[in-house]
Chain A
């Protein structure tokens, strides 16, 4: 059969094409760690959808704009018990996402995980001055919670799924949402944060960018992930810039150091 011959001949093609198309083979844990660091500052590591229709709810005081009274209220915080079950505790705490989060880390004994940011996006929702919301038809809301880079080490073990579930429940009780976007910030340098683009994101001029060429190397004695930022191959958007290299970066595995490759001098800065 001729087609069989073709199939076999394909087996002998240049190894670069074989390697290029290799399916991803890493574990879930590796996903956590790699993406957490790779995206340089932000990577979405878990999206927990709920698919529930929302009822009217109060906006979080810290994000509704205008004057807000921050006061102590009773909140239900969910945590993971030593036996690995989810427990709930009602606590008097200040009505801000940060305070809620801090209580959650305390109860879960992971106080080194820090709160970074919390944004509630309620597409299709009409806000009123009093802080209450009216849901318009088809509205869909997401709560994007950004936490520090210490989180993956707790979330990647066998109880990780349950731990994320306690976080989801805690914030769901705090402010109802359809979807929780949990993000990890590994680098706190705000300059870097503003310079770096998330995977799959677009540049200011609307051109699409991709991370590529992920590998590992040692720089100044630190184990680092290196990667390239390129214009994607989508010629309809990127035109002649399609596939071109923008820059090469590296992030140390502990997420502390960040480097940019200087092509002219062959150095990492």
Chain B
């Protein structure tokens, strides 16, 4: 059986291709088309981190500007994830600039607290992982998780969705979401320790 062209994620949708083409021909409608299609998506990512509509809007606009600067030469395979990654990075950077008081809002402090579970114990550490290696380990870790648990993990620590929101999104109880996250965090910790990495 050949490559299946209909599979979700195997191929860009027509609309994404058209939008990317607009960037490549330097048409300014690229921005408005992107805003129409992915404005809400990017805004929700920013808002989960920043907890401010005004700042989120700024990050989303910066995302489109960044996309304009990087396409071409870039031609992303998944436009939504490409834009979302930019928004997430910009939002986390902005979050770091917040005052301590404002930084307490949103899901980031909670997510960070939870991620402390994943930090390997010092006695097992042999080397400090560089960023590239760390991403590789995380990719490997995600590939080993069952799909449902992976989606919950990504919703929490990539999209910074609240536990309540995830529970609602996947029609499960909040305690089940928490349990799933706990198991995933423990497995990540074990993997990091097994690989002998410090962070």
Contact = CB atoms under 8 A, between A and B. Distances in A.
B158 A13 contact: yes
A12 B80 CA distance: 14
Contacts of A214: 8
B112 A14 contact: no
B9 A19 contact: yes
A7 B92 contact: yes
A25 interface: yes
Interface string B183-199: 00000000000000011
B163 to A, nearest CB: 14
B1 A9 contact: no
Contacts of B84: 18, 22
A134 B6 CA distance: 52
B113, B135, B153, B155: residue with the most chain A Cβ atoms closer than 10 Å: B135
Contacts, number: 131
Given A22-B80, A212-B8, A214-B8, A12 B151 contact: no
Contacts of A7: 92, 108, 111-112, 115, 157
Nearest to B145: A17
Interface stretch (A124-132, A150-158, A183-191, A259-267): A259-267
B150 to A, nearest CB: 6
A52 interface: no
A6 B2 contact: no
B88 interface: yes
Nearest to B76: A15
Contacts of A19: 9, 78, 80-81
A6 B131 CA distance: 9
Contact of A18 (B1, B89, B158): B158
B7 A213 contact: yes
B111 to A, nearest CB: 6
A15 B115 contact: no
Contacts of B5: 217
A248 B4 CA distance: 10
A2 interface: yes
Is the interface on chain B under 10, 10 to 19, 20 to 34, or 35 or more residues? 35 or more
A15 B77 contact: yes
Interface residues of A, number: 40
B169 A23 contact: yes
A25 B116 CA distance: 31
B161 interface: yes
A248 B6 contact: yes
Contacts of B146: 233
Contacts of B179: none
Contacts of B154: 17-18, 20-21
By DSSP majority rule, is chain B's interface helix, strand, loop, or mixed?
A: helix
A117 B41 CA distance: 39
B139 interface: yes
Nearest to B38: A25
Contacts of A22: 41, 80-81, 84, 159
Nearest to B119: A2
B6 A9 contact: no
B118 interface: yes
Nearest to B198: A2
B142 interface: yes
Interface string B93-119: 000000000000000100111011011
Nearest to B169: A23
Interface in B1-36: 1-2, 4-9, 13-14
Nearest to A261: B6
Given A16-B78, A22-B84, A215 B138 contact: no
Interface string A1-44: 11111111111111111111111110000000000000000000
Nearest to A9: B134
Contacts of A20: 9, 147, 150-151, 154
The 10 closest A-B pairs by CB, nearest first: A21-B154, A15-B81, A18-B81, A2-B199, A3-B115, A213-B8, A9-B134, A21-B151, A15-B78, A12-B135
Interface of B: 1-2, 4-9, 13-14, 40-41, 44, 76-78, 80-82, 84-85, 88-89, 92, 108, 111-113, 115-116, 118-119, 131, 134-135, 138-139, 142, 146-148, 150-155, 157-159, 161, 165, 169, 198-199
Given A21-B154, A261-B6, A263-B4, 16 more contacts: A1-B112, A7-B111, A9-B138, A10-B157, A13-B135, A16-B9, A17-B142, A18-B158, A23-B44, A23-B155, A23-B159, A23-B165, A24-B169, A25-B40, A215-B8, A233-B147
